Chain A
Amino acid sequence: MGRAEYKVEGGKLVKAQVIIDGNIIRKVKITGDFFLHPEELIEELEEALVGSLLDESNLAKLIRGVIEKKNAILLGASPEDFAKCIVMAGNMDG
């Protein structure tokens, strides 16, 4: 498992734990002191990323899609920040 932390400038701290298989995400956990409304969406978001390519712009698009579809609000970090941290963590796996 790979871990990474990313402090968003003017925002919050995002942490990720990622397991990859080749270049594919097998498991991801996103933690940190950001705000996401509704809160329960985080688990759904993590699920949605399983099976996707460990690629920053691809992940950012996926995350933004889930958030917009659910009319959710992310505060203190952006989908791009999440994606960046996940890729950093993924690169630490193995």
Chain B
Amino acid sequence: MVEEWRLLDTGLHDAFYNMALDEAIVIARSKKLVPNTLRFFRWEPSAVSIGYFQSMEEEVDIETCKRIGVDYVRRRTGGGAVYHERDGELTYSVIINEDHPLISRDFQKTYEKLCSWLVRGLSFLGVPAEFKPINDIIVAGKKISGNAQTRGMNVVHQHGTILREVNPAVMFSVLKVPSEKIRGKMIKAAEERVTSINKFLQRDVSFEELKKALIKGFEESFDIKLVLGEITDFEKDMAVKLKEEKYSTREWNFKR
């Protein structure tokens, strides 16, 4: 019998709830309350997330975020600062028990494995993507997806971004740059280093079309059937609690 996973499409939420729900699913999975899960989600309002080890003050231009209504949140995973644009980005999470055959003890190998379905999904859209260690997916040498992973409670959690559209000018207004003088230079450099599906294909790929391709990529890569489901009451309550007590707090977001 083919292995089945739960597919969640949780739509648009604020940054604090989004990160809280990821952790809530991890907890639910560790308690064996839910199956392995692939979740798609987006951000409203647009938001910046920073890696666990980053400093909020060093990475994020808080004043600009406040002015233009962009949230900022610390992730439970390491890695770098990311600008999640409401209409530009699709985000996913994979939550899986650690003793699953897809998981290796080697983190680098697990990144490559848990990125392979994205690479395949993008290929169905005509985007010749490839995995680039440590945790990126690139197309024609430019980054199109960033991914971050953590483990704990016998669960592996990987989340990441897929850029449908990219706007380096906005990106560098919410992220700190070493000096105003080089802001323009950094925007230019980002334009050369980062791409998006729409930019690469020179056409507008909808979120629905993108998700369809990625779901096919996942099912074919892993021989797993995704069954559309809902979050449980446990996850919902836990997410509300974690948003309130962790991800929306200054204590967490400014802890480093």
Contact = CB atoms under 8 A, between A and B. Distances in A.
B150 interface: yes
B187 to A, nearest CB: 19
Interface in A1-60: 11-13, 15, 29-39, 42
A25 B54 CA distance: 21
Interface range for A:
10 to 19
A76 B152 CA distance: 20
A35 B55 contact: no
A35 B58 contact: no
B246 to A, nearest CB: 13
Interface of A: 11-13, 15, 29-39, 42, 73, 75-76
Interface stretch (B76-84, B166-174, B207-215): B76-84
Contacts of B55: 15, 29, 31
B18 interface: no
A29 B53 CA distance: 10
B256 A35 contact: no
Interface of B: 51-55, 58, 76-81, 107-108, 134-135, 148-152, 256
A11 B134 contact: yes
B58 A34 contact: no
A67 B101 CA distance: 26
A52 B24 CA distance: 39
8 contacts: A29-B256, A31-B54, A33-B51, A35-B77, A35-B135, A37-B150, A39-B77, A42-B52
Given A32-B54, A35-B78, A35-B79, 17 more contacts: A12-B80, A13-B80, A15-B58, A33-B53, A33-B54, A33-B80, A35-B107, A35-B148, A35-B149, A36-B78, A37-B150, A37-B151, A39-B150, A42-B52, A42-B53, A75-B78, A76-B78
Contacts of A31: 53-55, 58, 256
A37 B152 CA distance: 9
A34 B256 contact: no
Contact of B108 (A32, A34, A36, A75): A75
8 A-B pairs with the lowest CB-CB distances in the bound complex, closest first: A33-B80, A35-B78, A39-B52, A31-B55, A33-B51, A76-B134, A33-B79, A31-B53
Contacts of A37: 107, 150-151
Contacts of B107: 35, 37, 73, 75
A83 to B, nearest CB: 16
Contacts of A32: 51, 53-54
A47 to B, nearest CB: 14
Contact of B78 (A11, A15, A29, A33): A33
A30 B134 contact: no
A73 B105 CA distance: 10
B152 A34 contact: no
Contacts of A38: 151-152
